[in-house]
Amino acid sequence: MNPFLSIKGRLLTVILCISFIPITVITLVYYFNARSSLKSQVLDQLKAVAESKRLHVRTFMEIKKVQTVDFSSDGFIRNNLEAIIRGNTLTRRRTSNLNEYLSEKKLTTDRDLVAIALVGRDGKVVSSTNEKLLGKDMSDQEVFIHGKSMKYGETFIKPRYASSFAANCILCASPIISQHSVEFLGVIINVYHLTGLNEITTNRVGMGETGEVYLVNRDKIIITDSRFINRASLHLVVNTEPTRKIVESNEEMVGIYPDYRGIPVIGASMDIPEYGWVLLAEIDEAEAFVSVKKLGIVALIFGIVSAAVAIGVGTTFAISLSRTIKDFTHLTKSFASGALDYRLMANRKDEIGILASSFNTMADKLAKEITEHKRIAEVLRKNKEQSQAILDNTTAVIYLKDTEYRYILINQQFERLFHVTKEQVVGKTDYDLFPKENADAFRLNDRKVLDTRRSLVIDEVAPHDDGLHTYISLKFPMYDSVDGLYGVCGISTDITERLQKKM
């Protein structure tokens, strides 16, 4: 490339052609405007960090809430807890099975989960993954009192120091209701390490040497770790201006104020009302605005040695660039509206010409990729419709359950025979659809397949409008390449009429 045709070459030519004159006044105006702009930029960036962290915290806690509610609705847990509370036979065995089930099937599903406790309606721990909690009376503890007052499907969350684990934890409590009535059976309490929240708030990428993000509750007690004070979690009082504004009037703020150390910081506060928390993102004012001081020095030097650019040359060059920028602006708007057939004129010999050629090449590739994606989507749609058509046109009853024995899929033959719809069945277990004695048999056979991971051919009995029908069922485990074993599939054929003819 000819150096005099490049943008750099043209700029150098312009600089060599101009004369230097003092522009102190212009430089000062530029400095003050730049300082104000930089402050606004820092404030906006910090607010964006706080908003991002709040979203991350909410997502993290929503996962814990959903998990706790899911545990509270587990049929195995509910049935065994109800049997233990009612003092049915084999209570000790049921308790042992429940402890084992919680430890092997539930505790291992989340790395932050350190313990699970089932508290009966009298406030005593009936079952737990932690032996220290068994038999403990929690009737006067806040987590149990609030947990039993929640509606089914709701959770109560409380960060606190758990002496049983010598660690700061998050307690999530949800009520357990009988599957057979609306009777309150007790409360499930999931105990999570506070390290999960700390991993979110202590990820200080882009926060410099003094930036930090932390959570404070409505009692103005810091929940997560402090960057500057060891063991501050659940001990340190943060009675700062942004905390008071949210606690007293639910008013968020962005500005400069003294933090809990008494040091001026620039910070942003965000309210998380569903948990009663305040999220604060802060950085020392001295560090945040260090570039402003440097900018002042640079501006002063520049004001002394700089000069005005020749208006004629500058105007000509600006018009040339402006025309090219307009072309690029039109291109981006065309892309945004989905029109990928627009191309730039790439007849320039400088960097802008190279950039225009690159844009045109990118547009060509993007158009091809979109066409290919549409083709693949159409193929996938047809495959799905064909598979469903095959399932729905067979006379066999076909169904798929997950590892928790909940229905994932059924075909039309299942709907016709049992007078149900897919919407009524998916997500339910056999105990929701069939009499207990039939559901027990189905569950036993499904468990054999999942435990042994082998196919099973058996006779099963299911209720129909005209009485009990006998089915010959093939059950086999289902796998995928990502999660491995994810369920059991059943293909059942009604052989009632065939058996009657033999008789």
> How many domains are there within the chain?
3
Residues 208, 178 share a domain: no
Domain assignment of residue 402, yes or no: yes
Residues 158, 81 share a domain: yes
Domain assignment of residue 427, yes or no: yes
Residue with tokens 């770790």: 225
Domain assignment of residue 370, yes or no: no
What is the distance between the alpha carbons of residues 62 and 59, in angstroms, rounded to a whole number? Answer: 5
* Total Cβ atoms within 10 A of residue 396: 17
Q: What is the reported pLDDT for 94?
A: 87
What is the distance between the alpha carbons of residues 223 and 174, in angstroms, rounded to a whole number? Answer: 22
Tokens at 469, concatenated: 């029908």
Q: Name the domain boundary from 236, 259, 290.
A: 290
Q: Name the domain boundary from 138, 162, 193.
A: 193
Residues 127, 77 share a domain: yes
Domain assignment of residue 164, yes or no: yes
Q: Name the domain boundary from 161, 193, 225.
A: 193
Residues 240, 128 share a domain: no
Phi/psi of residue 181, nearest 5 degrees: -160, -175
- Please report, for the domain that includes residue 407, its CATH number: 3.30.450.20
CB burial of 196-211 (b: ≥16 within 10 Å; e: otherwise) equals: bbbebbbebeebeebb
Phi/psi of residue 476, nearest 5 degrees: -150, 150
Domain assignment of residue 268, yes or no: yes
Phi-psi domain of 421 (left: phi exceeds 0; alpha: psi -120 through 50; beta: other) = beta
Residue with tokens 């926060």: 207
What is the distance between the alpha carbons of residues 200 and 77, in angstroms, rounded to a whole number? Answer: 32
Q: What is the reported pLDDT for 257?
A: 94
Q: What is the reported pLDDT for 188?
A: 96
Closest CA to 186 of 105, 125, 100, 268: 125
- Positive/negative CA dihedral, 216, 222, 223, 225: positive
- Positive/negative CA dihedral, 326, 328, 330, 333: negative
Residues 222, 189 share a domain: no
Residues 247, 185 share a domain: no
Phi/psi of residue 314, nearest 5 degrees: -65, -40
CA angle, residues 248, 249, 251, in degrees to nearest 5: 120
Closest CA to 63 of 238, 190, 247: 190
Q: What is the reported pLDDT for 348?
A: 65
Alpha helices by DSSP H, listed for 18-72, are: 24-72
Tokens at 141, concatenated: 């503890």
Tokens at 233, concatenated: 């979690």
Residue 303 Cα to chain centre, angstroms: 51
Residues 189, 78 share a domain: yes
Domain assignment of residue 343, yes or no: no
Residues 428, 457 share a domain: yes
Residues 478, 416 share a domain: yes
Closest CA to 110 of 204, 182, 193, 206: 193
> Are β-strands 484-494 and 456-464 bridged in parallel, bridged antiparallel, or unpaired?
unpaired
Cα distances (angstroms) measured from residue 85 to each of 167, 185, 200: 31, 8, 40
**Residues 449, 488: contact at Cβ < 8 Å?**
yes
DSSP 109: G
- CB neighbours of 53 closer than 8 A, spacing ≥ 6? 200, 201, 213, 270, 279, 281
- Positive/negative CA dihedral, 32, 34, 36, 42: negative
Tokens at 462, concatenated: 């299911």
Q: What is the reported pLDDT for 258?
A: 96
Q: What is the reported pLDDT for 462?
A: 82
Residues 171, 89 share a domain: yes
What is the distance between the alpha carbons of residues 340 and 362, in angstroms, rounded to a whole number? Answer: 10
Walk along the chain (503 residues) and give the pLDDT tens digit of each residue: 555 555 555 555 655 565 545 566 776 677 677 777 777 888 888 899 999 999 999 999 999 999 999 999 999 999 999 988 887 667 788 899 999 999 999 999 999 999 999 999 999 999 999 988 999 999 999 999 999 999 999 999 999 888 777 789 999 999 999 988 889 999 999 999 999 999 999 998 888 899 999 999 999 999 999 999 999 999 999 999 999 999 999 999 999 999 999 999 999 999 999 999 999 999 998 888 777 667 667 766 766 666 555 555 555 655 565 566 666 676 667 666 666 666 666 566 666 677 677 777 777 776 676 666 666 657 656 666 676 777 778 888 999 999 999 999 999 988 988 888 999 999 999 999 888 998 998 899 999 999 999 999 988 888 887 778 888 888 999 998 777 898 999 998 888 877 777 76
Domain assignment of residue 232, yes or no: yes
CA torsion 174→180→185→186, rounded to 10°?
-20
- CB neighbours of 235 closer than 8 A, spacing ≥ 6? 221, 222
The string of DSSP letters for 271-306 reads: EETTTTEEEEEEEEHHHHTHHHHHHHHHHHHHHHH-
Indicate the pTM of the whole model. 0.54
CA angle, residues 486, 62, 43, in degrees to nearest 5: 135
Domain assignment of residue 446, yes or no: yes
Phi/psi of residue 34, nearest 5 degrees: -65, -40
Residues 177, 101 share a domain: yes
Residue with tokens 């994932």: 408
Alpha helices by DSSP H, listed for 102-235, are: 142-149, 195-201
Q: What is the reported pLDDT for 125?
A: 94
Residues 241, 188 share a domain: no
Determine the structural domain holding residue 419 and report its residue range. Answer: 394-502
Q: What is the reported pLDDT for 327?
A: 67
